[in-house]
Structure 1
Amino acid sequence: MSLHETDYELDGFEPADEEHEQHHDHLDISSFKVLAEHRTDTDSYFVLLDEGATWGIPGSPQLRAVHVSRDLSARTFEIDSNELPLYAMAQSYLIARGCPSDALSPQEGVHDPADDVTRALEARVRGDGDRFALLASYTADMREPVETVVMLRSLDPQAVPEFRILRERFDCDSNTHTLREGGFETYGAAGDWWEAWSDEEASGAAAAGSDRTPQPGPPRPGDTRAAGISTATRPLNTIPPGPVSADRRRAI
């Protein structure tokens, strides 16, 4: 897999303000490599891999979605970006900012889904991303296989189940990944599964990455969990959940 460094094509352009200048400086580093990109005369969209993330805070997202917009008359630019745990979330973030929905497929061998279940779930993540908030994520790149888990909460107070966990597993041998989800009726149930996963004891479809229809993990006594899953997500904010606090996530 050969990835290249970013070229934001900003020669002859000035930042629209100091904030965009600082943002550009932060993104203009060699550890960011391009997984996919789409360009027009005025806009550029990138999904980047931060190869240096593995040496930073444990569990941090390793992907970044970047949108560069250029004002051709004023010769200025603005940069908008977000650090995200899953490739489909990065796509959804950029689609919401004007990128065509089919323009950010990665090159073959970069981020290949292993099965139809993964393809279908990632399509929902890309398309229905305005329905959920991101509560927490953790990328366990020291595990074999590498895993990323994401906890989401529905923005619809009537949604059942209210909480979702997505689990991606990357197979280094085949260079493919699976994505599965589980639905949890309560925050406590989702937190229990998360804690079990952190101790490498989680089970269920969100955990197992099997070919069967995704189901939530097994409940603990007193918990109830809904099995139906109808939508997936783009993160809208980052609110660390209570039992999975920032400190706890870093220790997992």
Structure 2
Amino acid sequence: MPLHEPDYELDGFGPADDGHEQHRHDLGISSLKVLGEYRTDTDSYFVLLDEGATWGIPGSPQLRAVHVSRDLSARTFEVDSKELPLYAMAQSYLIARGCPFDALNPPEGVHDPADDFTRALEARVRGDGDHFALLASYTADMRDPVETVVMLRSLDPQAVPEFRILLERFDWDSNTHTLREGGFETYPAVVEWWEAWSDEEAPALPPPAPTVRRSPAPTAPATPVPPVSRRPQGR
């Protein structure tokens, strides 16, 4: 089905400050198309596809989560958004800002999970968004199938495994995707897998063991890897 540009419903509203006006301006590009949306009288939530991202920085996230809130009395608006690599992560961002859990499911045929495992894992990602930090992501849209890889670190420094990889594969023929997960106890281990994936030689993801707690140990750099980095760097 054809995708349409978002309507933020801001006619008659002014920005709460200059930053929100700039944010609205930045979201006014024609390459942003709606994959999912939910509206109330005061709030609008969008998961947008940036159709122009494939011609930008290689590997950049192609999705953007957008929350627009309107003050009906003051006739002002606020806008916040974030680029994210996976649809379920965009949903999680918006759920944390008041969107109902199941309100942003895309129309059938737009972003369909290929199997029950994918559905269950995406549901968990939607609910666990505040449990992990995004260290890196890369969308390889020149591969067949298209792959998006995401590196996460638990915000609980005592969790085992501390690091997770999410790997999405999108099949153009069926217009469906799968999502799989792997667990890694150390930063060097997850970087080794990432680099092998970058070289298209990645082994199977190690199954994530049930999360347990351990004594804190410094295993990752203090500064997260930039989200568009193809190869995570060490300290």
Partner of 2:148: 148
Q: Secondary structure at the match of 2:159?
A: coil
Alpha-carbon separation, structure 2, partners of 1:63 and 1:73: 32
Q: Secondary structure at the match of 1:21?
A: helix
Q: Secondary structure at the match of 1:106?
A: coil
- Residue identity matched to 2:189: A
- Residue identity matched to 1:30: S
Q: State whether structure 2 residue 181 is matched by structure 1 residue 181.
A: yes
Contact map agreement 1:183 1:229 (CA 8 A) in 2 = no
Partner of 1:40: 40
Structure 2: gaps (5+ residues): 213-222
Identity of aligned residues (%): 81
Partner of 1:51: 51
Distance 1:229 1:147, change over 3 A: farther
Q: Secondary structure at the match of 1:246?
A: coil
Partner of 1:200: 200
Partner of 1:95: 95
Alpha-carbon separation, structure 2, partners of 1:98 and 1:88: 15
Instruction: Say how many residue pairs are matched.
Output: 222
Partner of 1:131: 131
Distance 1:113 1:245, change over 3 A: closer
Alpha-carbon separation, structure 1, partners of 2:156 and 2:231: 27
Displacement of 1:246: 3.5
Partner of 2:113: 113
Contact map agreement 2:61 2:228 (CA 8 A) in 1 = no
Displacement of 1:39: 0.4
Runs of 4+ with deviation above 3 angstroms: 244-249
Contact map agreement 2:137 2:228 (CA 8 A) in 1 = no
- Residue identity matched to 1:168: E
Alpha-carbon separation, structure 1, partners of 2:62 and 2:182: 23
Distance 1:245 1:113, change over 3 A: closer
Displacement of 1:203: 1.8
- Residue identity matched to 1:63: L
| Structure 1 residues 223-243: Cα deviation after superposition (integer angstroms, max 9, x where no partner) | xxxx41559xxxxxx8217xx
Q: State whether structure 2 residue 68 is matched by structure 1 residue 73.
A: no
Equivalent position to 1:246, from 217, 229, 232: 229
| TM-score relative to the length of structure 1 | 0.85
Contact map agreement 1:182 1:229 (CA 8 A) in 2 = no
- Residue identity matched to 2:91: Q
Q: Secondary structure at the match of 2:160?
A: coil
Q: Secondary structure at the match of 1:5?
A: coil
Equivalent position to 1:228, from 202, 205, 209: 209
| Structure 1 residues 143-162: Cα deviation after superposition (integer angstroms, max 9, x where no partner) | 00000000000011111000
Alpha-carbon separation, structure 1, partners of 2:82 and 2:195: 26
Alpha-carbon separation, structure 2, partners of 1:12 and 1:102: 30
Structure 1: gaps (5+ residues): 207-214, 217-226, 232-237
Partner of 2:169: 169
Contact map agreement 2:159 2:211 (CA 8 A) in 1 = no
- Residue identity matched to 1:198: S
Taking the TM superposition and a 5 Å limit, the aligned residue runs for 1:21-36 are 21-36=21-36
Alpha-carbon separation, structure 1, partners of 2:228 and 2:7: 36
Contact map agreement 1:152 1:164 (CA 8 A) in 2 = yes
| TM-score relative to the length of structure 2 | 0.91
